[in-house]
Structure 1
Amino acid sequence: MSEHSSEPEVQKGSSNNNLIFAVVILLLVAGVAAFILLKPEDKPVQVVEDIVSEQAPVVEYQEPEPEPEPEVTEPEPEPVVVDTAPERTPEPVPDVEPLPTLNESDDVVIARMDEVLSDQVMSLMVTDDLIRRGVVYVDNIAKGKVALSHAPVERPKESFKVIEGDILTIDPNSYERYTPYVKLFTSLSAAQVIRMYDEYKPLINEAYAEIGYEGDAFTGTLEEAIDVLLDTPEPKGDMPLIRNSVTYQYAYSEWESLPDAQKQLLRMGPENMKKVKAALRNIKAELEK
């Protein structure tokens, strides 16, 4: 708006200057004429006529002066608008680093997790084909199964222990085998888990499609897996066991008939199970948002 108003002011000032100049010339002519008329010359009239005729071009030059006024109406501001257009260019959006391919994602994902997890916790991770492992593992959990060969973490090195007495029960020290894994699972906030999930979701969907599903259906599968684990019953006391060759089974059928995924959670012990369930509830709440 300021540039629109400045141009007419310049033209107007120029026009006023021309008028002032013309008035000054007229005054000079009038002054010279008066001076000549007051002198005792024989032909004062002729002198005045000569002076006027000599100055006439100057006086007549006043008539073309109004011609610049049409210039005031010319659309001069248009070039100004064009000149200022580049200044309105939006600021560049910061470059987002593209995701790696699924086959080359291990280093990137591990480095990302290493930023937020301790070295002790990271030592539990299986670092090859991590996204594919996680996808297959979650898909099995949603079915109540445990795909040990696709577990994204190393298996506990300590052996399973029992207390032998009148009844066979789990040694509480066996629960401690899973404490580092619970720390791994609960060391990330639900918001961090979902943020990383969203960040690598295209690769997760790709891995899910590789095993015969619609890739974008994995979020529903993840919610089903969480529900399976949350539905794990919480025992009030010790659960008797029976020995079956080299393995152990729950003595009560209601426990032994539970899905493998839920029995795996039971083996972590009551305190670890509570922590895992609390973290799962928070993750589910974030997913539902």
Structure 2
Amino acid sequence: MSEHNSAESRNSKPSNSHLLLAVSVVVALVIVAIFVLSNRDNEQENAKFKQDVVVPEKTPTEVVNTARQEPATEVEEPAAPEPIVEPEPVTEPEPLPQREPEQPVAAPLPSLDNSDVALSEQISNYLNDTAMELVVTDDMIRRSVVFVDNLAQGKVAKNHFPVSKPQDNFMVIEDDIIITDPNSYERYTPYVNMLNAMSTAQLVRTYDKFKPLIREAYEEIGYDGGEFDLTLQEAIGELLETPIPETSLPLLQESVTYKYAYAEWEQLSDAQKLFLRMGPENMKKMKKRLQDLKVALAK
């Protein structure tokens, strides 16, 4: 009976409740196994990711304020004034002696007897050939000194003219009265032009250059050489005092000469009457030059 029971037990099928329970247990185990394996894989991946990925360290960034800021002004306490030290007097070096500029050495003057060439060359620097033909180049300084000395006395030294005499003769117009022919005035125009061709400065320069020889020549005729400057001024003044006629002056004939009909003109000095023969226009030009020369010589 017992063997029968045991065989029966082995051959009998499990019940549905037991089968359902077993299946539930197996499913539960499978779920648990999947969950465990899934967590393990995630942990390995995370660990590897942490090893391979390098996370840069964050560097603290300084915040810069771009707004314009006024620099902080430090208030300093006023420093104590430094003591004033008087500078020692500086001794200036003595100035070096300055050399006077070398003046051009003037060529020595020739002797009075040999002065014609030097004086002619000096004048020819200012006059053209036509004007130079009017100049008497024989004993020029002595001739001029004697002529000027006579002019200062109102006289005319006819033998000591420093220029040649006019080639044309004195002419008159005879009608009811005798008067000077105006064409006669033109005889003196070249002399006026010659004098005006030289400036006042050139005249004075020439006079100053040859003044030692002029004084020597003045001493030869019995005067103090230093007085010739005054004599020259008197000669110029004699001509400047000559009145200039506004109309033609009537003349009177005496033999081969003529004299002025009116006493106030005839009583003029010989030097002044010679000046009248130049005519009004030439007299005006000559007076202008003589006045400038007189002023220049007085300086």
Considering the TM-score relative to the shorter chain, is it more than 0.5? yes
Partner residue, 1:140: 150
Query: For 1:96-139, what per-residue CA distance to the aligned partner results, in whole angstroms no more than 9, with x for missing partners?
Result: 21000000000010011011101111000111100000000000
* Mapped partners of 1:90, 1:221: distance in 2: 36
Q: Give the match's secondary structure for 1:235.
A: coil
In the alignment, which of 108, 116, 124 is matched to residue 118 of structure 2? Answer: 108
Partner residue, 1:164: 174
* Mapped partners of 1:94, 1:189: distance in 2: 23
Q: Give the aligned CA root-mean-square deviation in angstroms.
A: 1.6
**2:290 is aligned with 1:280:** yes
* Mapped partners of 2:137, 2:236: distance in 1: 23
In the alignment, which of 125, 130, 143 is matched to residue 140 of structure 2? Answer: 130
Partner residue, 2:108: 98
Query: For 1:19-71, what per-residue CA distance to the aligned partner results, in whole angstroms no more than 9, with x for missing partners?
Result: xxxxxxxxxxxxxxxxxxxxxxxxxxxxxxxxxxxxxxxxxxxxxxxxxxxxx
Pick closer, same or farther for the CA change 1:204–1:163 going to 2, 3 Å: same
Q: Give the match's secondary structure for 1:242.
A: strand
Partner residue, 2:228: 218
Partner residue, 1:177: 187
* Mapped partners of 2:293, 2:103: distance in 1: 31
Greater share of residues in helix: 1
* Mapped partners of 1:126, 1:94: distance in 2: 31
Partner residue, 2:259: 249
Partner residue, 1:204: 214
Partner residue, 1:49: none
Unaligned runs of 5+ in 2: 1-95
Q: Give the match's secondary structure for 1:99.
A: coil
Q: Quick check: which has more Rg, 1 or 2?
A: 2
Pick closer, same or farther for the CA change 1:97–1:254 going to 2, 3 Å: same
Quote the offset at 1:95 in angstroms.
2.7
Quote the offset at 1:94 in angstroms.
3.3
Percent identity between the aligned chains? 54
Q: What is the identity, as a one-letter code, of the residue corresponding to 2:118?
A: V
Pick closer, same or farther for the CA change 1:250–1:90 going to 2, 3 Å: closer
Pick closer, same or farther for the CA change 1:215–1:169 going to 2, 3 Å: same
Quote the offset at 1:235 in angstroms.
1.1
**2:230 is aligned with 1:234:** no
Quote the offset at 1:89 in angstroms.
7.1
* Mapped partners of 1:283, 1:100: distance in 2: 26
Q: What is the identity, as a one-letter code, of the residue corresponding to 1:232?
A: T
Moved beyond 3 Å, runs of 4+? 87-94
Quote the offset at 1:91 in angstroms.
6.4
Q: TM-score, length-normalised on structure 2?
A: 0.66
Moved more, 181-190 or 255-264: 181-190
Q: What is the identity, as a one-letter code, of the residue corresponding to 2:233?
A: E
Quote the offset at 1:88 in angstroms.
8.0
Q: Give the match's secondary structure for 1:95.
A: coil
Unaligned runs of 5+ in 1: 1-84
Q: Give the match's secondary structure for 2:179.
A: strand
Q: TM-score, length-normalised on structure 1?
A: 0.68
